[in-house]
Each structure stands twice: as structure tokens, then as C-alpha cells.
Structure 1
Amino acid sequence: MLPQRLTAIARRLDHLNEWVGRFATGLVLIMVGVGVWNVVGRYLGRFIGQNLTSNALIEIQWYLFDLVFLLGAAYTLKHNDHVRVDVLSKRWSPKTKAWANAIGTVVFLIPFCLLVIYFSWSTVVNSWAIWEMSPDPGGLPRYPIKTMILVSFALLIIQGLAELCRAIAVILTPENHHGL
């Protein structure tokens, strides 16, 4: 009964990061479009003697890349597409893999995310306090994109909890019932 409840909790937590990851995937197209415009606008602008791009457009492209990377991290974990060294684990049983994932999540992933949030917090708060702007002429505000560091690592914690629930469900399930 508990393994099914844990799996249900994991699915609910997965739903948030699935939605955020799909949103981030959509941002890739916008980022590429802005990047193409920045290149075309630069050369076309030179040809016609008119500035067709700006620091703001360049920074939008950077911010979109940041968002894709930051918001896509938990989505990548959800789909098990992150870098992993499977030299040993490919031979492990499902329970052994679940133990490794649970220990890795509790010992490494969640503490690392909490440390990043802790050490980033004051930087983000200070950025909001001064309404930090890009130093480049016509640049964008920096405080919203810095906030995404906190959001990203909070999403990673949420996905880590989903992975932990799934691992514990496998650990608690008898050997012949791993179809969770």
C-alpha cells in the first residue's frame, strides 16, 4: 500500500516539472528566433545603415538560454536524461539502483540544491533591493533572471523528492512486483 502511495506522490510532483520542462522547451524556439534576428539584424543593419538589433535583444537571448538551462534541469532529471556513469549500475538489480538513487538524492542532490539556494539568496534579495539593471546601455533588469536560480533549484528539490518517493517505493516492493 505504501509503495503505491509513494508512486502517486511522485507522479504529482512529476507533473509540475513536466509542465515547466515543456515550457522551457518552447523557449528554445524563441531563443533561436531571437538569435537569428540578432545575426540577421546586425548584417542587414550594416547594409542599410540602420541599427536593427540592440543590447536588450542580445540580453533577451542570454536570458532565454538561462531559462532553458535552469528550468530544464529538473525536467532532465525527471526523464533520467542527465549525465550518469552506468558502468556499475547497469548490472545492478532494481532494488540496488533504487538504493543508490535514494542515497544519492538524500546525500548529494538535495543538500547541494539547499546550499545553492542558501548561498544565492542574499545575491537575489540584494538584486531586487536595488532593482539591479544590466550595466550595458539599453540592457535589461537582472533581478528577475537571478530569481530563476532559486526557482530552478527549488524545482530540482521537488523532482528529487519525486525520485526519492519512487526509489523508496521500489525498495519497499517485493522483488517480483517492480512494475511501479
Structure 2
Amino acid sequence: MNALLSLSRLIDAINIKIGQAVSWLLLAAVLICSGNALVRYIFHIGSNAWLEIQWYLFGAVFLLAAGYTLRRNEHVRIDVVVSRFSKRTQAWIDALGFLLFLLPITLLVLYFAIPFAVDAIRSQEMSSNAGGLILWPAKLLVPIGFFLLGLQGISELIKRIGFLMGKVDASEFERQAVKPEDEVAAIKAANKID
């Protein structure tokens, strides 16, 4: 079990790093979106490439941060029902959910997404829009994102099993939402802002 817990910590570290890096893509998307809107309305010029890069960035944020979201236990769930159960029952529900739903669906999506992305790369698929971008990077995000989500699902399953065996504390997988004040303090500390 110790080797599996080490693997779980490695997967967590990978998804945390990717999730933190991807957060910058959201800022880039907002800046591009704002700049594109200003240029279109002020100068009456624009390009489909600017619209498509916004879609690519939002897609990248959604797909690449899915594993990070699962790691932080901030994915969509029915907390009203689940919160009434004991931590042990919640761990069983999560473990069964990962085994019966998350991991099989992730594998199914990967089964179809990998050839989808490979075909786009081979053909150097381009957007059909005038001035559009190449499409294969966006299509490649689908298998990468689901691979990271599947890895995180395995990590979370390991932690739930570890908890049920008494080797992991529940704090390892509880929701990690923080108060807005704490988030501001963390941002200031990370950027050394006074």
C-alpha cells in the first residue's frame, strides 16, 4: 500500500503543477477576449484566429484542469445527500464511483479520442474558417485532459482505499475550498505583495 500511496502523491503533484500552470491560460484567454472585442468595436477589424485561440484556451483550461479539480474535490457532486453519511460511507461511495463510472468513462473517451487526435495530427487539420488556426493542438487536448483525469481518478481511488484500511487521513481527499480572504493572502504571499 505504501508504494501505491507514493504513486498517488506523484499523480497529485503532477496535476497540481498542471492545474496551477493552466490558471495562467485563463488570464491569457480573458486578455485576448478583451483585446479582440476592443479591436473589433473600435477599429472594426478582427480575425477568426483570435476567436479560435479563445476557444482553444478555454478548452485547455477545462480539459487540463479536470484532474486538478478532482484532486481538490471540487467536482460536481450531490453534497446534500453524501454529507449525511459517515466519512467511511462517503469513501465507499467515492471508491465505487471511481471504479464504476469515472475510470470506465475515462477509458472509453481515451479509446475514441486518441485516434481522433492522431488523425488530426497526421492530416495537419486546419480550421475551415477563413484565417482560422490549425486544429490538431485543440484535438490533442482531449486525450491529454482525460488521461490526466484518469490518473487523478486512480490517485483518488488509492486514497479512499488507504482511508478504508486506516492508512490515510480523510483530510487527504476532503474539499479544499478556502475563504476568499485566504485566497487573497495566498496570492499575496506567492507574489510577495504587501
Q: Normalising by structure 1, what TM-score?
A: 0.89
Alignment correspondent of 2:120:
127
Task: For 2:131 and 2:22, locate their aligned partners in 1 and report how far apart those are by CA, in whole Å.
Answer: 25
Cα deviation 1:28-51 (Å, max 9, x = unaligned):
1100000001100001213xxxx3
Instruction: Give the SS at the match of 1:91.
Output: coil
What's 1:162 paired with? 155
Aligned: 1:85 with 2:78: yes
* Corresponding residue SS for 2:134: coil
Match of 1:30 among 16, 28, 37: 28
Alignment of 1:88-103 (within 5 A): 88-103=81-96
Separation in structure 1 between the aligned mates of residue 120 and residue 3 of structure 2, nearest angstrom? 41
Which amino acid in structure 2 is aligned with residue 23 of structure 1?
A
Specify the SS of the correspondent of 2:80: coil
Relative distance call for 1:127 and 1:179 in structure 2 (3 A) is closer
**CA distance in 2: counterparts of 1:129 and 1:178, whole angstroms:** 46
Distance 2:86 2:6 in 1: 23
Kindly indicate whether residue 9 of structure 2 is the aligned counterpart of residue 16 of structure 1: no
Structure showing greater relative contact order (alpha-carbon pairs closer than 8 Å, 6 or more residues apart): 1
RMSD: 1.8
Q: Look up the SS of the partner of 1:92 in the other structure.
A: coil
The equivalent residue for 1:153 is 146
Is 2:69 the counterpart of 1:76?
yes
- Going from structure 1 to structure 2, the CA distance change for 1:167 and 1:84 (only over 3 Å counts) comes to same
Instruction: Give yes or no for contact 1:11–1:162 (8 Å, CA) kept in 2.
Output: yes
Gaps of 5+ in 2: 173-194
Matched to 1:33, the amino acid is: L
Q: Normalising to structure 2: TM-score of the pair?
A: 0.82
CA distance in 2, matches of 1:31, 1:74: 20
Q: How many residues of Structure 1 are paired with residues of Structure 2 in the alignment?
A: 172
SS in 1 for 2:125: coil
Q: Match for residue 66 of structure 1? A: 59
Q: Which residue of 1 aligns with 2:105?
A: 112
Identity among equivalent positions (%) equals 39
Rg larger for:
1
- 1:153 and 1:134 map into 2 onto residues whose CA distance is 23
* Aligned-residue offset at 1:8: 3.3
Judged with a 3 Å threshold, the aligned counterparts in structure 2 of structure 1 residues 63 and 96 are, in CA distance, closer, same or farther, namely same
Distance 1:143 1:40, change over 3 A: same
* 1:138 aligns to 2:131 (yes or no): yes
